[in-house]
Amino acid sequence: MNRILAASLLGLSLATSSLAHAEPVKIGVITTLSGGGAGLGIDMRDAFTLAIKQSGNKDVELVIEDDAQKPELAVQIAEKMIQGDKVDLMTGIIWSNLAMAVVPNTVAQDVIYLSPNAGPSALAGANCNPNYFNVAYQNDNFHEAMGQYANKDYKNAFILAPNYPAGKDALTGFKRYYKGALAGEIYTQVGQTDYAAEIAQIRASGADSVYFFLPGGMGIAFMKQYAQSGVNIPVTGPGFSFSQDVLPAIGDAALGVKNSATWSKDLDNEANKKFVEAFKAEYKRLPSIYAAQSWDTANLILAALSKASVKDKDAFRAALKAADFQSVRGKFTFNTNNHPIQNIYVREVVKEDDGVLTNMIIATAFEDHKDAYADKCSM
């Protein structure tokens, strides 16, 4: 009798202890899965789910919703996830204007948000928050790197970006490190698809280089039209304009263009090799930078989960901040404002033997780069 009791007690204690380990975790993923910007969100989602699947962790439950790139819809989904689904963590948003609509309200309700892409300057400085972790970059970073790199070859740059917060962050970032003169500065309309008027001004400006930030379809349109215009001034841009999701649509017009990014397919580390192979095997296409950042976000969460319970917010935040995971970007740590300290590289668009366009690292613009707003954050 005693023996049976002891055995059942043992069994019970084993069961409860394994229950304590197998604590279910609910992650809300809001991302763009329809409309013109869907390519970015789909890469984000695919890499995230693949990382969770590969880890073998069965306790993570994902709630994935499509924001259709609409801020008002993203806000509704976030409320539903927090109030209805009772998610423990949130992530997924691609666009800065959506992040600005969702993040402040989410972190104020003590839900931890991890950004796999957007990094608006407003959330990096005075409005930083212990519940907000940016696993990607601060918006200015890529542009700062290209401004720095431009000093090497160029003295008279023509710069253009769309007229919205991330566009302004972009040109501000470029000008922060670029020391030469500006042949011209243009803000284009968001969603603009015809750049004939701007290209004519570039032709007439006498610039020695062009720097442009036009994410998604805007950049495809610009590059195709630029290549056909007869203007031969060299073009540079941030990695978003020459990411794996848009390169096939730009075609050979992108060949040889230099662009900046924190990640590239050929970055030499174990985690990256494993990531690129796994992604290619699962989805039969090459990953983009959005996929890489999302993969890192998932692995950061998994690493923190193995150290602390998600219900114990303080311990979990500390576990996230330690960033004790194998990043596909190599060295990765968090600054005081929960934004990354990381290397930023200069890449060049090349064609592989099988005819696929992709990027190759040619230089390092910054080592262990921090964003310019961390000082204003009081954390």
Partner 1 sequence: MFTALLIEQLLNGLQLGVMLFLMAAGLTLIFGVMGLINLAHGSLYMIGAFACATVAAATGSFWIGLIASLTAAAGVGAIIEVAVIRRLYSRDHLDQVLATFALILILSEGSRWLFGSFPLYLDIPPLLQGAVPLPGGGQYQLYRLAIIGVGIAVAVGLYLLISRTRLGMRIRAGESDREMIAALGVDIGTLYTVVFALGAALAGLAGALVGALQSVQVGMGEPVLILAFVVIVIGGIGSIKGALVGAVIVGVVDTMGRFLLPSLLSLTMPASQATTIGAALASMLIYVVMALILAFRPSGLFAAQS
Tokens linked to 119: 């990094």
User: Which range binds partner 1 by CB under 8 A, 18-26, 77-85, 110-118, 190-198?
Assistant: 190-198
Q: Residue 346: name the closest of 177, 116, 148, 134 by CA.
A: 148
Stretch 140-169: interaction string toward partner 1, x if CB under 8 A: -----------------------x------
Angle between helices 289-307 and 270-283 (to 10 degrees): 110
Binding window for partner 1 (CB under 8 A); candidates: 22-30, 126-134, 226-234, 345-353: 226-234
Q: Which is nearer to partner 1, 82 or 221 (CB)?
A: 221
Of 349, 340, 183, the residue nearest 260 (C-alpha): 349
Nearest to 245, CA basis, from 38, 27, 20: 38
Query: Is residue 220 close enough to count as binding partner 1 by CB under 8 A?
Result: yes
Give DSSP secondary structure letters for 41-96.
Answer: HHHHHHHHHHHHHHHT-TTEEEEEEE-TT-HHHHHHHHHIIIIII--SEEE----H
327 DSSP assignment: B
Tell the smallest beta-carbon distance from residue 185 to partner 1 (Å): 5
Binding of residue 249 to partner 1 (CB under 8 A): yes
One residue of 194, 324, 367, 368 binding partner 1 per CB under 8 A = 194
Q: For the chain, first and last CA: distance in Å?
A: 59
Q: Does 229 bind partner 1 (CB under 8 A)?
A: yes
Inter-residue contact 48 to 31 (CB < 8 Å): no
CB of 207 to partner 1, least distance (A): 14
Number of continuous H segments (helices) and E segments (strands) in the chain: 12, 13
> Can residue 181 be called a binding residue for partner 1 (CB under 8 A)?
no
Rounded CA gap, 79 and 106, in Å?
8
Question: Bridge partners of 259?
Answer: 237, 347
Is position 193 an interface residue for partner 1 (rule: CB under 8 A)? yes
Tell me how far apart the 2 most distant CA atoms of the chain are, in Å: 96
**186 touches partner 1 (CB under 8 A):** yes
Among 27, 29, 30, 38, binds partner 1 (CB under 8 A): 38
The two tokens of residue 288 are 């983009």
Q: Does 185 interact with partner 1 (rule: CB under 8 A)?
A: yes
Output the smallest distance, CB 321 to partner 1, in A: 34
User: Does the protein bind partner 1 through residue 248 (CB under 8 A)?
Assistant: yes
Specify the stretch interacting with partner 1 by CB under 8 A; choose among 10-18, 19-27, 31-39, 348-356: 31-39
Q: Is residue 197 a contact residue for partner 1 (CB under 8 A)?
A: yes
Of 24 and 35, the one with the shorter C-beta distance to partner 1 is 35
Which parts of this chain interact with partner 1 (CB under 8 A)?
Answer: 33-36, 38-39, 42, 163, 185-189, 191, 193-194, 196-198, 200-201, 203-204, 217, 220-221, 224-225, 228-230, 245-246, 248-251
